[in-house]
Structure 1
Amino acid sequence: MRTTISRRAALKALGVSGVALAGGAAVISAQSDEASSNVGELELIYEFEPPEGSPQEPPFGQLPENVAADESGNKFVSIPTQAQIWKFGPDDEPVETPFVQFESTEEFLVGPTGVEFDPNGRIYSAFVSDLSTSTDAETNGVYEIDTDGEYELYAEISNDLEEFPSFPNDIALLENSLLVSDSFSGVIWEVQRGRTEVWAGELWDGNQYNFPTTPLAPPAPVAGSPQFGPNGLQLTEDKDALYVANTGKGTILEITIDSFGNPDEPEVFVDDLGAPDGLAMDVEENLYVADNGANQILRVSPDGDVEVLAENGDVEETTTANETTTIANETTTANETTTTANETTTIANETTTIANETTTANETTTANETTTTANETTTANETTTVNETTTTANETTTANETTTTANETTTAEEQTTTEMAGQTGVPILDQPADVTFGTTDDQRTSLYIVNLALDSQFEPPKPSLMKLDVGIDGLRITR
């Protein structure tokens, strides 16, 4: 089945479009005041390539969606925008990029989503293909991957609705089966080799007046476009309950499981979240949530109490002295403009104006005319540092140098809202999509996080792999 859906629907495909993003842009990532004292600081491991322009148009960038760890400490990260899975070693360094390269149709959001490592030595990956219009795309469903990165189709997934695509997403291991969330269809599939059936939830019959309203269902389609529902999955240690993030409804559901592996009706466990995505669990059965819509990492106790472990700081509305000092250094008058920064928060704009006017003056061949222009700027700016600025104009030796200064100042001004957050090496939560625990002795308390950055607040977006020490061992993946 190959189904065409709108670009708007495709943008919703990873649970971020149409959701109000909380908190605005950020300048620094930090642990919340409410976080436990045994929680560390966010650590940046790897920065992926952001898209060049719109993430919906090539080149799509490297936007990571899911992460899983094997027993040796290797991490496997799905990148649906490149139809790839990357491998990071036990030391968190990238070792195979890609580890798996699926057949790519170079279409938006056609590729691997959820990944999970089976302790028996296999890796499973959900694969979204029903968004493709190409018959060359890989089959929609679940793939099995060996240790050499070779893959084969494990089971196809289809909801049998020609005009409504399925979206296989996260994977959990239940005895001899896989549980796979379908974010568009609003169900949990039970998957075995070559066989799929609905395990929980209700498939829509296509009747627009009969869309399911159960807790597991996504919000109703808007203008014919599907919305995002069940997403991240997490089983308890004894497999007596499954937790499900419903991204579009901002809830986490609990589904109890009987001794035969059959589910009870889903119930809301936590609500009023931003857009919960990936889930993980520690040995004390606390849930860890990548809240995509709020740019937060949450911990939810077995009683349903929600704690913010990491989030981005607030943006300051005015340019700070430190930021202005940076701009001043670019205009070659660091000391003079730094003094002015303490007097006014708009010196960056004034300096840009002066530089541009000086550029115009330097287009003539007379140095005295340039100085005159600088003196004319005195009246326009009405600051106490006009003579200093005039000195700057006189210190500029060529028109080319002045033009460069103007461009540098303009660039710095454009970046002031994210200057602290936007630099390489600064850990920023940019639409976290998944979380999982490390598996080696020195990483069992480390929560690994992938930032999808599909509908980012930052310029450029910040797709990345990060980790956060949470002070409690993670629950090991078992069959």
Structure 2
Amino acid sequence: MMVLRDMRTEISRRTALKTLGVSGVVLAGGVTAISGQSDDASDDVGELELVYEFEPPEGSPQEPPFGQHPENVAIDPFGNKFVSVPSQAQIWKFGPEDELVDQPFVQFDSTEEFLVGPTGVEYDPSGRLYSAFVSDLSSSEDAETNGVYEIDDENGEYELYAEISNDVEDFPTFPNDIALLENSLLVTDSFSGVIWEVKRGRAEVWAGELWDGEDDFPTGPLAPPAPAAAGPQFGPNGLQFTEDKRTLYVANTAKGTIVEIPVFEGNAREPEVFVEGLVAPDGLAMDVDENLYVADNGANQILRISPNGDVEVLAENEAMDGEQETTTEAETTTAEEGTTTAEDGTTTDEAGTTTPEEETTTAEAGTTTPEDGTATAEEGTTTPGDGTTTDEEGTTTPGDGTATTEQGDDQTEPDSEGGVPVLDQPADVTFGTTDDQLETLYIVNLALTSQFEEPRPSFVKLDVGVDGLPVER
């Protein structure tokens, strides 16, 4: 196992991969898929369209020279798109017609280390761009400060807006997504399990409970599962306000949930789980009807969730001809045979109780059981720790926690030169802002641990038939 050493903590390869929102649930290598509209999607939903293909890594995505892995996108009122590429410590700029304008628009000081770079980006209509930056995982004294940066949207010049840190020795913070509050920013901390309220020069916990490093790790809806021996796990990620700013939705990646937080006069009330049973939700967006859009990077799906919590799959990768089901009786979990608790990954069946707190890898069998209770087999069958099971029909229903991964006999991948876009760990979704792009959902594919023989980092878009909710203070 490759371990990142000489950092504030030692983090296993699998845990490190999850720190950009990458689920432990990874499809088996060689699964062949083409991307398209889900059969269950509404008639007003279009097909995925390719905006830009980023360069995949020459070798391992976790070792230099790194590829170009986009993580987040923000769009200004004029239709300019700002895409963070943490693997290069850069932010790129695309124009109103989706054309590449600046590569890069922002170049942070790079230490050429894995998982050190800009993560979430958000555009303030007042004319400033903000970016979260992760450097707590760096071993270099030359790394940028861990926190939030303010960026001039004209020339890309940046300065530190506020540092984000905790008082726990050897436990890093991971500033991730950003949302605009009236006079401040809200920033998820995916390791600590809190949301920070950030103003110039300071950051305070706005929601969630900050771990003190001594007592039991917090267990609330925002908290990730407790840190395992390999390091911290990944919790709060994407953020999205309703139009009236009275509710904030938060994706909890490791738990497969969407959390809602009532907001009163700018203050957070008690968080509650809104939707559960997803695989690895990451970036969020909302339309004018207050439907929530979710980039589920563990399932390679784009979801739409109604205000009542109904889940609709808008786009997903579909198995090609020659597919076969890989579910076996032994791999299927039913209500009578056992239950799974998402928070701690503990599975109980008739034979006894198993708590997979430590990551176990069996190379011969091709089966990995990480700390969150996710099992991925060579045959392509995936059973995540949130109670997701495989049914006999091979259908995927995120809302009820049922998922099936299928493998094709013919393992010919889609022809990228033919313009067939795929979903390869979608990490963020954001609506366009110009009149002709209001119904367009822009999506970045992180592709950090890819189901394809060659990762497919890309920038794609999807017409969803409903105007997006504008980003406002």
Question: TM-score range, shorter-chain basis?
Answer: 0.7 to 0.9
Comparing 137-146 and 308-317, the one that deviates more: 308-317
Distance (whole Å) between structure 2 residues aligned to residue 222 and residue 300 of structure 1: 31
Return the offset for 1:275.
0.3
1:91-110 to structure 2, matched below 5 A, reads 91-110=97-116
User: What's 1:277 paired with?
Assistant: 282
Name 1:203's counterpart in structure 2.
Answer: 210
Measured against aligned partners, the alpha-carbon deviations of 1:29-65 in whole angstroms (never above 9, x if no partner) come to 1111111100000001100001112111111100000
- Is the radius of gyration larger for structure 1 or structure 2? 1
* Higher fraction of helix: 1
> What value does the CA root-mean-square deviation take over the aligned residues?
2.0
Change (3 A) 1:65 1:424: farther
Q: Do 1:21 and 1:274's aligned partners in 2 also have CA atoms closer than 8 Å? A: no
2:90 alignment partner in structure 1: 84
Counting only pairs closer than 5 Å after superposition, residues 395-474 of structure 1 correspond to structure 2 as: 417-420=411-414, 422-423=416-417, 425-474=419-468
Inter-CA distance 230–153: structure 2 relative to 1 (3 Å threshold): same
Cα distance in 1 for residues equivalent to 2:415 and 2:448: 17
| Aligned residues of 2:439 and 2:467 also touching (Cα < 8 A) | yes
Asked whether the equivalents of residues 19 and 248 of structure 1 are also in contact (C-alpha less than 8 Å), the reply is no
Q: Following TM superposition, by how much is the alpha carbon of 1:5 offset from its aligned partner in structure 2, in angstroms?
A: 2.7
Say whether residues 1:266 and 2:260 are aligned partners.
no
Correspondence for 1:164 among 159, 171, 175: 171
Letter in 1 for 2:284: L
CA distance in 2, matches of 1:315, 1:159: 48
Q: Does 422-431 or 107-116 show the bigger shift? A: 422-431
CA–CA distance in 2 between the matches of 1:186 and 1:32? 32
User: Contact (CA 8 Å) 1:24, 1:314: kept in 2 or not?
Assistant: no
Question: Counterpart of 1:287?
Answer: 292
Shift of 1:178: 0.2
CA drift at 1:21: 4.2
- Counterpart Cα distance in 1 of 2:124 and 2:88: 24
Equivalent positions of 1:110-129 (< 5 A) are 110-129=116-135
Unaligned stretches of 5+ residues in structure 2: 1-5, 325-408
Shift of 1:15: 2.3
Aligned-residue identity in percent: 76
CA–CA distance in 1 between the matches of 2:109 and 2:316?
Answer: 36
Instruction: Output one character per residue of 1:138-177: Cα deviation in whole Å (capped at 9) or x when no partner.
Output: 0000000002100000000002222111000000001001
The equivalent residue for 1:255 is: 261
418 and 451 in structure 1: CA distance in 2 versus 1, 3 angstrom threshold? farther
1:255·1:263 contact (CA, 8 Å) conserved in 2? Answer: yes
2:191 matched to 1:184?
yes
Structure 2 letter corresponding to 1:179: L
TM-superposed CA distance for 1:72, in Å, is 0.5
CA contact (8 A) 2:163 2:203 kept: yes
Q: In 1, distance between residues paired with 2:30 and 2:431?
A: 28
**Alignment-mate amino acid for residue 72 of structure 2:** N
Matched, 1:38 2:44: yes
Equivalent-residue separation in structure 1 for 2:32 and 2:290 (angstroms): 31
Match of 1:174 in 2: 181
Q: CA deviation at 1:104?
A: 0.3
CA distance in 1, matches of 2:232, 2:71: 19
- The answer on whether the counterparts of 1:31 and 1:310 sit within 8 Å (CA) in structure 2 is yes
Q: What's the TM-score, normalizing by structure 1?
A: 0.77
Contact 1:67/1:78 (<8 A) preserved: yes
For residue 306 of structure 1, the aligned residue among 311, 325, 332 is 311
Number of equivalences = 383
SS of equivalent to 2:233: coil
Q: Which residue of 2 aligns with 1:233?
A: 239
Contact residue 432 and residue 441 of structure 2 kept, 8 A: yes
Work out whether residues 32 and 413 of structure 2, in 8 Å CA contact, stay in contact via their aligned partners in 1: no
Paired AA for residue 111 in structure 1? G
Equivalent in 73, 76, 97 of residue 67 of structure 1: 73
Kindly provide the amino acid, as one letter, of the partner of residue 169 in structure 1: N
Contact 1:421/1:428 (8 A) holds in 2? no
Deviations 1:424-469 (A, max 9, x none): 5211000000000000000000000000000100121000000000
